[in-house]
Amino acid sequence: MSIPHLHPDTIEQVKQRVDIVDVISEHVVLRKRGKDFTGLCPFHDDKSPSFSVSPTKQFYYCFSCGAGGNAIKFVMEIGKQSFGDVVLELANRYQVPVKTLEPAQRQELQRQISLREQLYEVLAITAKFFEHALRQPSGEGAIAYLKTQRRLSDETIQHFQLGYAPGGWQTLYGYLVDHKRYPVELIEQAGLIVPRQAGQGSGHYDRFRDRLIIPIHDLQGRVIGFGGRSLGDEQPKYLNSPETELFDKGKTLFALDKARAAIAKTDKAVVVEGYFDVIALHAVNITNVVASMGTALSLAQVRSLIRYTESKQIIFNFDGDSAGNKAAERAIGEVSDLAYQGEVKLRILNLPEGKDPDDFLKTQSAEVYQSLLDHAPLWLDWQIQRTLEGADLNQADQFQQSTQAIVKLLGDLPNATLRTHYIHRCAELLSYGNPHLTMQLEADLRTQVRGQRWHGRSQKWQRPGDRTLQEEAEAQLLRLYLLLSEYRSFIRESLDERDLDFSLAHHRFFWQQMMNIEEMELHNPKELIDQLQDRCAEYPDKLAYIYHLIQLDEKTKRDVLRARW
């Protein structure tokens, strides 16, 4: 929107009133260091704290990327907002009166900035209405549900501002429009009422009717939407506010306003599926817990979480049933790239008997849950366990399927040391701990994982039938050199004496790599092949053409060995 020119006095008052630590700490975990604060810079991929905030100077600066400025500049950069929008936002937050250069523009300015404030106001009033209704005779069923089935105390009910939406088609409508005199359009924009469809008459009806109400807050603790749970058989069981000017389901995490301090303190965030899982855990003082909005966890939500942890550790504790496992798989899919690269330290917790946290805490203590949380497996271990779960590895087809799935998982690991660890671990699992079989499987898995990594980078595998006779002859010579160390000097001398070179570029490349490695005096064929595989992984454009030279089938090995005689 177009913002009229702000009066310099307003801008100056905002600069004086704003607390830069307060503003930045909503986006960055800040640690006190002397008189200043430090944290990870939100403007670049910061691995160690290089971002400094000075409360005395009201200034921030990153020693790595050079970003710096005052609180207004920070909000502009982090939210991609204009100067005028940010000043107005901070003026409202710090209760600075807004003046413009021309008094005549004030009315237009107030109209433009008031929509969001009116929405905040009507949602706050609605939350109070629902809270009040919970304590009325019509809310007896809802309060009984909370105290009996959910076992929540009055303190917890009040802390989360839980409420009740009375039955009736226009109960809330009548309160807000007829009694409070709010415009119908504003109530609709807040997502509280729904226009009747054609053929159903004119007017609107309440979105939430005869439902338990869970308010959803932003980071400042302002109500931006609601979740409603049916108390009977009405579907859907859970109904959320629609997308509005204030509420974006894909970017919002339930209870992050209440959890972020604990997330920063414990240096880990726990993500659960449901509102009541969050509420039950907070009720037993496990408060570093949030939930998504009934949709698949998004990358934006994960990124908002890891702002508050230095270790970037997130634990998914979704329901242990098949639906919960699928939700975990989807969530992992969203962040797998970050997890593979180590930008998110992801763990998965499945509670015993497939329970969710709320049900689990009805029979177990908070200490037991916390212990399980502390020992939650890394996401890749969980994925591997899921792959092998229920598989009969004595059946050839199931063994092959399980192996292929594991190879695909491990092939995406960028760290060679980590790949080695998991290849060894998976070989043990697949062989049921048989030492001899473990060694064989480990070698096979290593070969397949390398192939998987290369396959993803090359367009196709070449088949022997695709190669010309000349190419096949050159390939055979290279294989002889690779496998029969006693003939290497003879092959080198023969090529040098006749001033011969390989005719194909990928063969010349392969030969050069072997010559470079030969300077290391590796005579053992296996050591030479291992070195070649690692080196060639750096050249994905060549791999499709030389893969068959390194990964030899039994027939090719026999053909090479016959060359001795």
* pLDDT tens-digit readout, 61-96: 988 888 888 999 999 988 888 888 888 889 888 888
C-alpha 316/C-alpha 321 separation (Å) is 14
| Distance in angstroms between the alpha carbons of the first and the last residue of the chain | 85
Please give the structure tokens belonging to residue 450: 């390398």
Q: Please tell me the chain's helix, strand, coil percentages from 3-state DSSP, rounded to the nearest 5.
A: 55, 10, 35
- Whether the ω angle into residue 4 lies within 30 degrees of 0, i.e. cis, is no
> Residue holding tokens 């508050």?
308
DSSP 503: S
> Which tokens is 549 given?
């030279």
Q: Which token pair is 21?
A: 């630590």
Distance CA 88, CA 44 (A): 27
- pLDDT confidence band for 460 (50 / 70 / 90): very low
Identify whether the C-beta of residue 89 lies closer than 8 Å to the C-beta of residue 72. Answer: no
Contact assessment for residue 72 and residue 14, using Cβ atoms and an 8 Å cutoff: yes
Q: How high is the pLDDT of residue 65?
A: 83
User: What is residue 218's DSSP assignment?
Assistant: -
- Residue 160 contacts residue 214 (beta carbons within 8 Å): yes
pLDDT band (50, 70, 90) for residue 464:
very low
Query: For residue range 515-561, what is the model confidence (pLDDT) as tens digits?
Result: 877 555 556 777 777 777 767 766 656 666 676 777 665 656 666 56
**267 neighbors 313 (Cβ within 8 angstroms):** yes
Q: Strands 163-165, 68-69: parallel, antiparallel or unpaired by DSSP?
A: unpaired
Structure letter (DSSP) for residue 57: T
pLDDT digit string, tens, across residues 12-26: 888 888 989 989 988
Mean pLDDT computed over every residue of the chain: 84
Contact 439, 471 (CB under 8 A): no
- The three-state secondary structure class of 303 is helix
Domains and CATH numbers, the chain: 8-101 (3.90.580.10), 111-240 (3.90.980.10), 256-376 (3.40.1360.10), 385-455 (no CATH), 464-562 (no CATH)
Please report the beta strands in 339-493, taking only residues with DSSP state E, as ranges in sequence order: 345-348
At 220-238, the pLDDT tens digits run 889 999 999 999 888 899 9
Give the single-character DSSP code of 465. G
Q: Using pLDDT thresholds of 50, 70 and 90, give the confidence band for residue 211.
A: very high
The residue with tokens 């309160």 is: 175
Q: What percentage of the chain reaches a pLDDT higher than 90?
A: 38
